[in-house]
């Protein structure tokens, strides 16, 4: 009987943590501003989610110090990737960018000056699969499978 109560207590605890986290995500305390309709390039659902987070749900901009260290910022990168490559590949490129944002990419990519100061330049074009050229050494290998 004592073990059942402990299990139920843990279940209720995690349920409360989930709902509190969801509430924080949706109703966080930040500067709420609506996205400019002129900035909405495409009308597909994935882009609309990004636009929604840029606008009324952007509670992190008021909480975190500074801004995105990359140029273009991650949400602009996401919209461009989705517009050029479609929802699936665009979202995958966005996840890749979010993983790299602020990490080693700051040391590996060139810096540019923007109105917000120095930023690390990492455009969508630099991360497209056809932009990656194999090294001369690899392209000269002759591999045969027999």
How do residues 25-41 score in pLDDT, each as one tens digit? 555 444 344 445 555 45
Q: Give me the tens of pLDDT residue by residue for the chain, a chain 146 residues long.
A: 445 565 566 666 777 777 766 665 555 444 344 445 555 455 666 666 666 655 554 545 544 555 678 888 888 888 888 888 888 888 888 888 888 877 777 788 888 888 878 888 888 888 887 655 655 555 555 655 55
Q: Supply 144's token pair.
A: 């045969």
Domain residue ranges in the chain: 28-136
Q: Would you say the C-alpha torsion 64, 70, 71, 76 has a positive or negative sign?
A: negative
Could you tell me the pTM of the whole model?
0.49
**pLDDT at res. 31:** 39
Hey, is 29 helix, strand or coil? coil
């Amino acid at each position: 009987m004592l073990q059942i109560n402990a299990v139920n207590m843990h279940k209720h605890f995690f349920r409360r943590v989930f709902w509190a986290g969801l509430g924080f995500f949706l109703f966080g305390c930040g500067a709420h501003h609506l996205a400019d309709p002129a900035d909405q390039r495409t009308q597909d659902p994935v882009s609309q989610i990004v636009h929604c987070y840029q606008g009324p749900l952007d509670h992190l901009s008021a909480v975190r110090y500074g801004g995105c260290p990359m140029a273009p910022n991650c949400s602009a990168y996401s919209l461009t990737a989705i517009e050029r490559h479609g929802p699936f590949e665009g979202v995958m490129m966005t996840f890749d960018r979010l993983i790299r944002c602020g990490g080693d990419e700051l040391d590996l990519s060139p810096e540019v000056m923007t109105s917000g100061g120095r930023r690390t330049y990492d455009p969508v074009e630099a991360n497209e699969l056809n932009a990656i050229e194999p090294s001369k050494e690899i392209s000269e290998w002759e591999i045969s499978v027999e």
